[in-house]
Structure 1
Amino acid sequence: MNIAYTLAPGRGDTDLVLNTVADQLITRGYKPCGTVQINTERSDAGPCDMDVKVLPDGPAIRISQTLGRASRGCRLDPNALEKAVGLVTGHFASGADCLIINKFGKHEAEGRGFRQIIAEAVMKETPVLVGLNILNAQAFMEFSEGLGEELPPRVDSLCDWLETRIRSFSGEADRRYAQEYRG
């Protein structure tokens, strides 16, 4: 299966790694689709602001809500997340070499968010890389039927995995095209 996940130990580390992976793929001429998360510290010492950048070239969408310093609830803005999902779905339909999703989070675990586009990419044999946290690991394992490959949170390893699968998929598509149209 062409789906893998990575999990970095520090707060925000997975976001930084996936952001760098996406940048390197773009620099190498690939067309990734999906989202990477950008966390911005706040001057009021509250929790960071969370934005997702829609790949390959934007826009950035604020997915966190400012609920106040004493708030303990989930800060995710579900409407903003669904806006990002819609943009990614549109970009994916116009062609992508791979799908990178910053996090298989609570919404995906509950059957919403990026879950449908991840499933579509897997069905189309497009390589998929997702960030994962331990809270949603079981839901991801069930979703991927245990076939998701765990990769170390290292930029080189993740780029190698994606590039190998992109080339493999492209080569297979080229072979199918040649066989179909050469007669």
Structure 2
Amino acid sequence: MKLAYTMLPGRGDAGLLFHQLAQELTGRGISVAGLVQTEAAGPDRHPCDMYLRVLPGGTVYRISQSLGAGSRGCRLDADALEAAAFEVGRALSRGTELLIVNKFGKLEAQGRGFRTVIAEAIGNDVPVIVGVNDLNLEAFLDFTDGLGSAVLPRHQALLDWVLPVLRAPVAGRSAWPPGPMLRAF
């Protein structure tokens, strides 16, 4: 299976790592789709502000709800995340060679978000790299039936995984995904 995941401890670290990876691969002529987290700039920035940039260099979605300056909690804007997933899903039909998903998060653990896009990519033999955190690792492993490859959260380690996978010949369509992998919801 052409699926890798990596775990980064810091908030936003996956976005930077995946952005650099996408830039290098695009520079090598590889068609990359997906999304990376970007940081909001400005004095009014709230710690909960979350933005995703659709690759390559596409739309930026704010995926956090604005709860006001005095708020203490964060709230995901599920509709915005679903809109980003829809845009990335459309890109898969345009000859994408690699899908990068910044995070398998709470929505994906619940069967929404990028879960269907990930399954579609793998079903079409498009390699996938996903960021996962400790909170959602169990749900990710359940979704993938434990068949993904764990890769160190380093640029060279990700390149060492993806480049041979991209060069591997396609030996026809498989019956992927088996059993539990089809559970998009």
User: TM-score, with normalisation over the residues of structure 2?
Assistant: 0.86
Cα distance in 2, alignment partners of residues 101 and 8 from structure 1: 13
- Cα shift at 1:100: 0.4
Structure 1 residues 81 and 45 mapped into 2: Cα distance closer, same or farther (>3 Å)? Answer: closer
Unaligned runs of 5+ in 1: 177-183
Cα distance in 2, alignment partners of residues 31 and 154 from structure 1: 21
CA contact (8 A) 1:39 1:48 kept: no
Confirm whether residue 133 of structure 1 aligns to residue 133 of structure 2.
yes
Unaligned runs of 5+ in 2: 173-185
Q: How many residues align?
A: 172
Cα distance in 2, alignment partners of residues 158 and 69 from structure 1: 38
Cα distance in 2, alignment partners of residues 64 and 134 from structure 1: 21
AA aligned to 2:152 is P
Q: CA offsets per residue over residues 34-69 of structure 1, 9 Å max, x none?
A: 111102255246315221111123011211222124
Runs of 4+ that moved beyond 4 A? none
Q: What's the % identity of the aligned pairs?
A: 48
SS at 2:50's partner residue? strand
- 1:19-168 to structure 2, matched below 5 A, reads 19-40=19-40, 42-44=42-44, 46-168=46-168
Structure number with greater Rg is 1
- Cα shift at 1:15: 1.6
SS at 2:39's partner residue? strand
Q: Which deviates more, 100-109 or 47-56?
A: 47-56
Cα distance in 2, alignment partners of residues 84 and 157 from structure 1: 27
AA aligned to 1:172 is V
Cα distance in 2, alignment partners of residues 46 and 57 from structure 1: 24
Cα distance in 2, alignment partners of residues 69 and 148 from structure 1: 40
CA contact (8 A) 1:42 1:48 kept: no
Q: Please, what is the CA RMSD of the aligned residues?
A: 1.7
CA contact (8 A) 1:40 1:48 kept: no
Q: Which residue of 2 aligns with 1:180?
A: none
User: TM-score, with normalisation over the residues of structure 1?
Assistant: 0.87
